[in-house]
Structure 1
Amino acid sequence: MSSVSRLGLAVKSIDQTAAELLSEWGVGLFLVSSSDVDARSGDLLRCCVFMITSDSPEHWMKQVHEIVEQGGKHCCLSTSWECLVTNSARLSEYLNVLGNILPLDGVLSLALPLTDDSACWELWKRIATSDIKVMLYINSPVEDSTVRSWSMEPIAGIVIDERSFVSVDEIHVLRPEIKSMITEIVRKSNSSIFVNASSGAPSYLGYLEWLLVRGEIKYEPVHLIDPLQPLRDDLDLNIYEVFEKDRTKYHMYKEAIAASLRDMKEKHIKVLIIGPGRGPLVDIVIDEVQQKGLSATLNAVEKNPKCIPLLEDKNKHKWHFKVNILHDDARKLKHHHYDLIISELLGSFGCNELAPEILMPFQHSKSTVFIPQSFENFIRPIFFPEFTKLDATSLERPYLAMPTSYDVMGEYEKVWKYNFPGNNESVRRKEISFSPPVFGKINAFEGCFVANLYQDISIGMLSSLEEGYCNSWYPYLLPVEEDNVAENSLVSFSIERCMADDLAVWYTWEYKKRKYNSNGQYSINLVPLEKVNN
């Protein structure tokens, strides 16, 4: 198969036709009755998902044992709704026993219909464990919210029958609404797709293979990213280029700079730009100073040696030597008075790229205007499927990611705020309570920020911002052990910002009496000044 997702075929038995489909079409998987387990070759057994259709838990055990003895590895429990409801109290126990019968690389799944009926979803949430997956049967369109919810679950496969197709010019194609549903589920879960067709299997499979090869249906993995540490690391220029594509951010900075300059009483002003990168903020300052007929002393301090040649070239050919380019760590500058200090040191959690520590030394003058004037971070509980793959050690650190799907399990709550100028302690602690709106799971807390640039001009990551919503930051994610929570229950969480001997900053967070990153195993390096540019 050339595609990530595998195609499967639901068949009554592995006959000659099925074997030909395996070799000629690369079908990859067969959904077969458990009664057909005997006399299968090893290669075919590895391609089979065995359906167990009995309503008797004792029979489930017997059939799983038989399947495993023959070398099978994937069992799918397909039982009546009445049986599921009747046995719901002990269903998790039964499923755990069945899972323990299978080999370590075995798979146990439960067949359920994709439906808007909340009873099906609630039953699944009560019994779902890390050891069981769901086999979704799609027969008719459902609400987008239903698709989003199920796509975050561990899906073993999607089963569609010939009713999901229509004939167009003698070619079987998926109905648009069904195709949209499958596209969304595969995009987030990388599910296998099974076709249940009484005849004409090559036609259905050929069409689906065409969609997969063209990328119309494809899995889009979520990548966990190590948060940037620009004070420690010298970022590549292409990273700055990506940041600069956020038009909203620079438009709002332009508005804030223009407003601050209008309020300046002095005709000659001193401006400091901290961390100019490739120079977009310098461009804005020079333009606004000229438009308002002001004279200005412009200093731009940049620690990254990769940016200095570009800044010096711009200063020569574009800015006409109007800017003093300083290759240094801003913390080493002598604390002269500045009328305006502009920076874009904000990380995804506001303070996680050490903006407070860099800006604190410049607060000696109460008349200095800072852009941003303040920033505040927020956090909320979520269920993020990618974190189910993390081991215990990997839970002890933060990540950046742009989740394609996640469950929001509480509203954003404020954490802490920094004002410039202001009393900005590095070490802080906050205890927060949340109330999950629905029954579900929590395995992460998602952080973001809002920054007030000047007066009422703000930027940030909250989608509720009428203006100033920016897309150049990814959410800041703090993983925790997976936890089931009840609707409208009280969820307690605490977070602390720690510092050790002015060498490092880190976050410690606590949930369900477990502390994470308590000793700063993952920390943000402050880089001692005696080591800067030495």
Structure 2
Amino acid sequence: MSSAQNGGNTNTCSVSLHVPTSSVHFGPDIVEDEIPAQFKAPPPSQPRRPHPGGLDTLQEASHVNALSQATGPSPASLQAVMENISLSQKQGTNQKVEALLTAALASLSPSNRSRAITKAKGYDSITVQLANERWRERWSRLCLAPSETVASTSASSVGGNASKAFAAGDPGGMGGSWEVLAQASGAGGLNVPMEGALNGATKAGKMVRSSSRKHIIETAPAGTTLSSSVTPTLGRIDEGSERVRESNTSPINETQKEAEAWRKSPSFNPSELNLTKYEDSDGVIAIISPWIELDSWDEGIRLDSEIALRQELSYASHLGILQVVLPPPSSDPACRPYLVDYARAIAGCLVSRGSEAPAAGHFMRLSIRLPISSPYASAQMMLKTGVGARPLSISSNSSNGTAQMRSEDDWSWQAWHVIQSVCAFNARLGVAIDLSAPLPSPAILERWNAEPVSHIWLPARAFLSNAKGYPVLSKATQSFLRSIISVKAPQLAFILTGTQTPPENHTRGGQAAYEQYIRHTERNITSNMTETDLQVRSYSDYLQAPLQPLFDNLEGQTYATFEADSIKYEKYEEAVYQALSSLPPKNIISVWVCGAGRGPLVSRCIQAARKASRTIKVVALEKNPNAIVGLRERATNEWGQDVVRVEMGDMRTVKISPSEKADIIVSELLGSFGDNELSPECLDGAMRILKPNGICIPRAYSSYITPISTPKLCAVTYLAGRGGKEEMPEVQHCWTFDHSTPPAVPLSYDGLPLTNAHNVRLSSHTFHIPRQSVCHGLAGSFEAHLWGNVVLSIHPDPSRATQGMNSWFPLYFPFKEPLYLAAESELDVSIWRLTSNDRVWYEWMAQSFAISNKPSRATSLSVLENESVRSSSVSSQPQQQKNNGRVRFEGVNSDAFQNAPNTPRLSDTTLPGEPSTSQNAAIAERSLIGMTALMNPGGRSSSVYM
């Protein structure tokens, strides 16, 4: 169901239907099998009035009925509803209903009509391309070299006769299957030739050139060849300047004048747009023209594409459209050097140019439609395996190559990292992940959980078919969607495309089956979430400042949030029960609850005493004067003043007599990093209250740290992996605070440590980084040993963490600037817990190292000796060898660089302290490739006050 049908539930993901341009005027296509035969309308007797943009609706694609000859057709499903009404109601009423429906739809604009019909089918919005084919034709006429200077693409290529080279170029396969597109247009680039052949034929077309850059040096990406016949006016530097001067004198034609006028003041013609009014934009996700190529190897095409992009975004902003999907960069390696041009163009649309507003407005969110893996790599794999040379099999339990193939490339994330970095991690830039391409490995997919994924582009061809013919997603895709929905909902939106003409093996369910499947998947995810998951879902997308309960008086809402975590208090009750059971029975056991808050620990201690059959006297100690009011009321009305005595004061300074000392101290001052709420300092003072051999709960707690990637803090990706020369763990221990005995430090007359130096800590770590990534900071966690076998943990390893507990989230140690980490590299992290007379703070930094294998000393000397022998046998005639454009001489001249006859040599033996290696062994060498500044020096940005 849509969110509207779900009672206005805003906690679900929205689902949008991609409406083809051919249907935007009359509403989304309706599949034939949804309409009973008796209700199918006959074809219209007269031709329809054309769309203002000149796009006639295709008869075989729309399957619609004419509302009237003046307004165009209406969906056949509405006709079916009307016919059903006529079977059960009087004809007069039926005619009135039909007239009302006809008049209502006829009064709507084309896009509003499409949206109304789409919402009636369960969708939340529609996704429509902003401009149409006429706009593409005008741009190519103005901005591309004339057709007589560009050879046609070979008609033998897969995909039919692509006589218009530019028309074949569709960088990301917008609206088409990636398999066919990749084979026809170079797997994601503008006619970039692929390696190998397809159906025995190679791609013979020439590279499309810009019409505005006639005098640039004739160059081409690696692996491509340009004929001089492609652009006759192009001249090379080494041929002199005559040709350049000749081309400068060529007459300026009318097309060139028109092109320059457009570049100076770009604008649309009304017939070039699918959306023309502000009222048309409500509930619409706009698609920028897919042929715009911001990373073309031709600089003129790049620059003119940027002008076209800004023009479309500016117009979308004028219409009030808030969500826009951009075409992806090319996955062809030949276009990789121009990815920064693509990113720069997008960055320029998000910021102001002096007094000029951003092309994307101030509120528009841009999403780059990025294939989940490289279409180019997938096409090459198909060629090598022979899949591209034969039809893909279609059976009852399989769909197409997309669902059956797997990819191991990491192109998508690498491209996104470049774009996001150039755009300075702009909060209005997101990703629309396109699942048309094969899925990569789970380890590569996992990192998308931490990225700003705003949309999932899901074509019908990405679905398999089950035994009954209904469309379903593969297990791998389901797993990926579960992880994405869990951390991104409800901001995540799905865009379904191609459902109007589904694959032939999807024989059941019709067009509605795809939308219903997505809704069903999300419901299953929500139904499997625990009550704790649902509670934290609403505020897990926010960075929260750590509490300072020692310095601040907490509010009632904060206490209420703590008390909602029943798991934590169950663990504390069990720990108190075990502690009471370990003490010998006697008349009264003294229990001090230090930092009682509103009293949840007091209640748990009383319950534990009943369970352990012990008599206790509880002292509820609290420094917050506001919380004291509630504690005293509960002591009078609920616990009994003979059981609970309420005291106001600080556990570090409260005055006590020896007879009042406690057998057990209970405290819940633990923070997300264990000690970040000053539990060590507080419990140092509370040790004055404890009897010799008394019990402190918690007994001890340890802090852990691991590097993470988190561009937006709603989710994180853990970057480290077990590995390296010492099998380094992914999450590493920093330090431990133990309160089983008082600190062995000099004490003042009132029993407090003279200084806080004993609570200073420092720790160094080395993490193995298996995959290329970007580190935004460190995640801190803790494990606490309460008593006996009772443990509280928020360790990232699910097998060690306390399940169902929501009192603590990981502590975030951010880097001021993201740190790039290469694959198979190492990350050194240093972290300090420092203190002064009145404050405690952390400082941290990191260094990234590339690991390479360096030959050992014995191996190096052996190589040098072999080189010396080889050099002595060289002919006395000088020889030249070219090496990367430089000339290197060998022969008699090289003798000048030989050592003198009796020059001492280094020994082959291992130096003291150096690991012994065999002659062929290698030593891992670390090279520094990046580092952060020292974060939070002196606690100037963040500190906790005592």
TM superposition score normalised by structure 1? 0.78
Residues in 2 aligned to 1:53 and 1:313: alpha-carbon distance in whole angstroms: 70
Which 5+ residue runs of structure 1 have no aligned equivalent? 388-402, 527-534
Give yes or no for the alignment of 1:57 onto 2:302. Answer: no
Change (3 A) 1:86 1:22: farther
Give yes or no for the alignment of 1:461 onto 2:762. Answer: no
Q: 1:466 Cα shift?
A: 5.4
Q: 1:376 Cα shift?
A: 0.9
Q: 1:112 Cα shift?
A: 1.3
Question: Partner of 2:681 in structure 1?
Answer: 357
Residues in 1 aligned to 2:412 and 2:712: alpha-carbon distance in whole angstroms: 23
Q: Equivalent of 2:933, from 514, 518, 524?
A: 514
**Equivalent residues of 1:10, 1:32 under 8 A apart:** no
2:646 partner letter: I
Change (3 A) 1:156 1:244: closer
State the SS of the aligned residue for 1:64: helix
Q: 1:50 Cα shift?
A: 2.0
Q: Equivalent of 1:196, from 497, 509, 519?
A: 497
Give yes or no for the alignment of 1:234 onto 2:553. Answer: yes
Change (3 A) 1:274 1:430: same
Question: Partner of 1:531 in structure 2?
Answer: none
Q: Deviations over 1:333-369 (max 9, x none)?
A: 1254432211111111111111111111233565232
Q: How does 1:42-121 map to 2 (within 5 A)?
A: 47-52=286-291, 56-58=296-298, 59-69=301-311, 71=314, 76-78=326-328, 81=331, 84-88=332-336, 90-99=337-346, 102=349, 104=351, 105=358, 106=360, 107=366, 109=368, 111-113=370-372, 117-121=406-410
Q: Equivalent of 1:334, from 635, 646, 655?
A: 655
Q: How does 1:426-441 map to 2 (within 5 A)?
A: 426-441=759-774
Question: Partner of 1:30 in structure 2?
Answer: 128
Q: 1:295 Cα shift?
A: 4.8
Question: Partner of 2:25 in structure 1?
Answer: 16
Q: Deviations over 1:292-339 (max 9, x none)?
A: 565544322012233323322332333322222102222221254432
Question: Partner of 2:643 in structure 1?
Answer: 322
Residues in 2 aligned to 1:317 and 1:419: alpha-carbon distance in whole angstroms: 37
1:472 partner letter: S
Change (3 A) 1:342 1:154: closer
**Equivalent residues of 2:296, 2:335 under 8 A apart:** no
**Equivalent residues of 1:65, 1:101 under 8 A apart:** no
Residues in 2 aligned to 1:261 and 1:289: alpha-carbon distance in whole angstroms: 7
Residues in 2 aligned to 1:468 and 1:14: alpha-carbon distance in whole angstroms: 53
Question: Partner of 1:301 in structure 2?
Answer: 621
Q: How does 1:234-313 map to 2 (within 5 A)?
A: 234-265=553-584, 267=586, 268-289=588-609, 294-313=614-633
**Equivalent residues of 1:272, 1:340 under 8 A apart:** yes
**Equivalent residues of 2:464, 2:474 under 8 A apart:** no
Q: How does 1:64-213 map to 2 (within 5 A)?
A: 64-69=306-311, 71=314, 76-78=326-328, 81=331, 84-88=332-336, 90-99=337-346, 102=349, 104=351, 105=358, 106=360, 107=366, 109=368, 111-113=370-372, 117-122=406-411, 124-125=413-414, 128-129=417-418, 130=420, 131=423, 134-139=431-436, 148-155=446-453, 157-163=455-461, 185=484, 188-189=487-488, 190-197=491-498, 199=500
Which 5+ residue runs of structure 2 have no aligned equivalent? 5-9, 28-108, 117-124, 136-267, 317-323, 352-357, 361-365, 374-401, 424-428, 503-509, 527-536, 722-729, 745-755, 847-930
Residues in 2 aligned to 1:284 and 1:159: alpha-carbon distance in whole angstroms: 50
**Equivalent residues of 1:269, 1:296 under 8 A apart:** yes
**Aligned residues between the structures:** 503
Root mean square deviation, CA, Å: 4.2
State the SS of the aligned residue for 1:386: coil
Change (3 A) 1:13 1:520: farther
Q: Equivalent of 1:476, from 796, 807, 811?
A: 811
Question: Partner of 1:372 in structure 2?
Answer: 698
Residues in 2 aligned to 1:247 and 1:173: alpha-carbon distance in whole angstroms: 42
Q: Relative to structure 2, which stretch is displaced further, 90-99 or 300-309?
A: 90-99
Change (3 A) 1:454 1:432: same
State the SS of the aligned residue for 1:514: coil
Q: Equivalent of 1:488, from 796, 821, 824?
A: 824
Question: Partner of 2:709 in structure 1?
Answer: 383
Residues in 2 aligned to 1:445 and 1:362: alpha-carbon distance in whole angstroms: 31
Q: Deviations over 1:416-457 (max 9, x none)?
A: 211113357233222222112322121121111111112433
Change (3 A) 1:464 1:119: closer
Q: 1:183 Cα shift?
A: 6.8
Change (3 A) 1:210 1:34: same
1:323 partner letter: V
Q: 1:139 Cα shift?
A: 4.0
Larger Rg: 2
Q: 1:485 Cα shift?
A: 0.9
Change (3 A) 1:145 1:287: same
**Equivalent residues of 1:8, 1:31 under 8 A apart:** no
Q: 1:257 Cα shift?
A: 1.9
Question: Partner of 1:529 in structure 2?
Answer: none
Residues in 1 aligned to 2:626 and 2:344: alpha-carbon distance in whole angstroms: 58
Identity among equivalent positions (%) equals: 23
Residues in 1 aligned to 2:637 and 2:413: alpha-carbon distance in whole angstroms: 64
Q: Deviations over 1:27-63 (max 9, x none)?
A: 4642367855444448589944221266943234432
Q: Which has the higher contact order (CA 8 A, sep 6+)?
A: 1
Give 1 or 2: higher strand fraction: 1
2:710 partner letter: F
Residues in 1 aligned to 2:350 and 2:810: alpha-carbon distance in whole angstroms: 37
**Equivalent residues of 1:435, 1:487 under 8 A apart:** no
Residues in 2 aligned to 1:78 and 1:271: alpha-carbon distance in whole angstroms: 64
Q: Relative to structure 2, which stretch is displaced further, 54-63 or 378-387?
A: 54-63
TM superposition score normalised by structure 2? 0.47
Q: 1:124 Cα shift?
A: 3.1
Q: 1:264 Cα shift?
A: 2.6
Change (3 A) 1:97 1:309: closer
Q: Deviations over 1:129-180 (max 9, x none)?
A: 213754432248958766544343344643333446899xxxx998697788
